[in-house]
Amino acid sequence: MTGPAAGRDPQGVGRFDVPQQSPTADPEPARRNGHRPAVQVPPAEPAVPDRPGDHWDRKVANGLAFLRRRLSGDYEVDEFGFDSELTDAVFHPLLRLLYRDWFRTEVSGVEHVPVDGPALVVGNHSGTVALDALILSAALHDKHPAHRYLRLLGADLVFRMPVVSEIARKTGGTVACNPDAERLLGGGDLVGVFPEGFKGIGKLYADRYKLQRFGRGGFVSAALRTGTPIVPVAIVGGEEIYPMLADIKPLARLLKLPYFPVTPTFPWLGPLGMVPLPSKWLIEFCPPIPTAHLTDSADDPLVVFNLADQVRETIQQTLHTLLERRPDPFGP
């Protein structure tokens, strides 16, 4: 189209070559009616992910808070001296490195340990140094669905040694006597006992995994008086960490020790001889043995002996089974 009508719409209202602008909303009517115009809120910025250093910042902050509570005394211990915060923050992480990475421990049968309420966990003892008790307590706490603490019963010698006594108390240990065991069981705790005592950890490597006598069955009496189930547990691997080749008895008497061990590395390598060999560990909890129906027989020597023998045989047979499963003591 040419001529004067070119560039106009059919009605002659406006030109097509001029951009049409829509009228802007007048905010004044809204203000006159007592309303404010809508405010445009900018979209929220996406959350900034943690930087690599933030994780360590939190660790440092938690560590400083822990030290502040320790220095100010703002923590709790029970009547036996058990400090759960110190156990979780210091001792269990150290033991976790041992049982998980150094000993490559496999744990089975944890479902036999009650989720709540008391139980008496009875295990075999070995290893020249009683690491098996500590490894058992840390592994049970980590693997149990309720993360229960195992309150260990120790010999009098443990609680006469400086530093060791304090550590034992802080981690939940107490003297291996019936009154303390019954108080713990009566309070619904898991209690760990090793009836072989020093006869178990101080035996020669030639006698490995042969259970020694279980004493007079005092642990059975404590379980009977409280109606507590007994959970046998078998531990394979402890015998190889410090293979005891000989016992220098005169030196042990001089030092007032139950034995003085000679191993392939101690005393020849001095302090380095205290580094445990990296044996492969297997821990198996056996089905519990009920005692609630025998509470009236706590003072019957025959009942106590038969029950102690049943526990001992259960552990011994389980040890044989675990040893067949682990043909190489230092395998993967």
Residue 3 has pLDDT above 70, yes or no: no
Range 123-139 average pLDDT: 94
Cα–Cα distance, 312 to 230 (Å, whole number): 11
Q: Which two tokens stand for residue 307?
A: 């029950």
pLDDT attached to residue 288:
97
Cα–Cα distance, 51 to 54 (Å, whole number): 5
What do you get for the CA distance between the two ends of the chain, in Å? 93
Nearest CA to 193 out of 146, 148, 232 is that of: 232
Q: Does domain 76-241+276-325 have CATH number 3.40.50.150?
A: no
pLDDT attached to residue 41:
52
What letter would DSSP give residue 270? G
Residue 241 has pLDDT above 70, yes or no: yes
Angle between helices 218-226 and 301-325 (to 10 degrees): 110
pLDDT attached to residue 247:
93
pLDDT attached to residue 110:
97
Q: Which region among 19-33, 91-105, 134-148, 154-168 has the lowest average model confidence (pLDDT)? A: 19-33
Model confidence pLDDT, tens digit, residues 33-71: 444 455 555 555 555 555 655 667 776 777 777 777 777
Higher pLDDT, 135 or 39: 135
**Domain residue ranges in the chain:** 76-241+276-325
pLDDT attached to residue 332:
86
| Mean pLDDT, the chain, whole residue set | 85
> 270: how many CB neighbours lie within 10 A of its CB?
9
pLDDT attached to residue 49:
56
CA-CA distances (angstroms) from residue 331 to 103, 208, 212?
A: 10, 18, 27
Range 63-81 average pLDDT: 78
Cα–Cα distance, 323 to 281 (Å, whole number): 10
**Residues pairing with 193 in the sheet:** 122
Range 115-125 average pLDDT: 96
Percentage, residues of the chain above pLDDT 70 = 83
Model confidence pLDDT, tens digit, residues 196-227: 999 999 999 999 999 998 877 889 999 999 99
Largest CA distance in the chain: 131
Amino acid at 42: P
pLDDT attached to residue 14:
44
pLDDT attached to residue 286:
97
Backbone angles phi, psi at 91, to 5 degrees: -75, -45
**For 278-300, where are the alpha helices, taking DSSP H only?**
none
pLDDT attached to residue 63:
74
Residue 186 has pLDDT above 90, yes or no: yes
pLDDT attached to residue 103:
96
Cα–Cα distance, 157 to 164 (Å, whole number): 10
Contact 245, 262 (CB under 8 A): yes
317-324: list long-range contacts, CB under 8 Å, 24+ apart. Answer: 318/232, 318/234, 318/284, 318/286, 319/124, 319/209, 319/211, 319/234, 319/236, 321/284, 322/234, 322/236, 322/282, 322/284, 323/209, 323/236
257-260: list long-range contacts, CB under 8 Å, 24+ apart. Answer: 258/157, 258/198, 258/202, 259/198, 259/202
Q: Which region among 16-20, 60-64, 291-295 has the lowest average model confidence (pLDDT)? A: 16-20
pLDDT attached to residue 68:
77
- The sign of the dihedral angle between the CA atoms of 92, 159, 234, 206 is positive
pLDDT attached to residue 11:
46
Model confidence pLDDT, tens digit, residues 249-289: 999 999 999 999 999 999 999 889 999 999 999 999 999 99
pLDDT attached to residue 64:
75
